[in-house]
């Protein structure tokens, strides 16, 4: 069973994971206060500001990075080199592989690529 943990502010990541729910019977959990994960899983988050990691994602990782296998990130290509940059920053700080950087709520192809990478 695959576990997906996600953080979403504007709804883009939430739309992405809702489409994942239609494709796979994975356990998908939004991170937030009071939730304590116990299973290894994959993180999907977003980029905020000028390529920054959201504080809520950073707090989650500071406690539970030992459970995270991979990171994926939403972004907006209008930000040029800062597009989905949070994924690269998380990968560097927590030594995690980036499996997908997608624009906004992703495309059908992004969903397929994510599933393919998770299932290997």
| Residues 63-84: tens digit of each pLDDT | 999 999 999 999 999 888 888 9
Q: Which CATH class is domain 3-33+40-119?
A: alpha beta
d(CA 93, CA 1): 27
pLDDT of residue 80: 83
The per-residue DSSP string of 48-88 comes to BTTTBPPHHHHHHHHHHGGGEEEEEEEE-GGGGGGTTHHHH
Average of pLDDT values for 95-110? 96
pTM above 0.85, yes or no: yes
Query: Both tokens of residue 15?
Result: 């739309």
d(CA 92, CA 72): 13
Phi then psi for residue 32, to 5 deg, are 170, 175
Task: Count CB-CB contacts under 10 A for residue 87.
Answer: 28
C-alpha atoms less than 13 angstroms from C-alpha of 46 in its C-beta half-sphere: 21
| Residues 18-69: tens digit of each pLDDT | 999 999 999 999 998 677 899 999 999 999 988 999 999 999 999 999 999 9
Query: Both tokens of residue 58?
Result: 């950073």
State which H helix or E strand residue 71 sits in. Answer: strand 68-75
CA 50 to chain centre: 18
């Amino acid at each position: 069973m695959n576990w997906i943990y996600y953080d979403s502010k504007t709804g883009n990541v939430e739309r992405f994971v809702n489409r994942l729910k239609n494709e796979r019977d994975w356990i998908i959990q939004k991170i937030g206060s009071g939730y304590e994960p116990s299973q290894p899983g994959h993180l999907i988050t977003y980029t905020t500001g000028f390529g920054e990691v959201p504080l809520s994602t950073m707090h989650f990782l500071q406690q539970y990075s030992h459970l995270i296998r991979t990171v994926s990130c939403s972004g907006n290509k209008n930000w040029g080199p800062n597009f989905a940059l949070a994924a690269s920053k998380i990968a560097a700080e927590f030594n995690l592989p980036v499996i997908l950087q997608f624009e906004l709520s992703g495309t059908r192809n992004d969903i397929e690529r994510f599933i393919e990478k998770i299932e290997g």
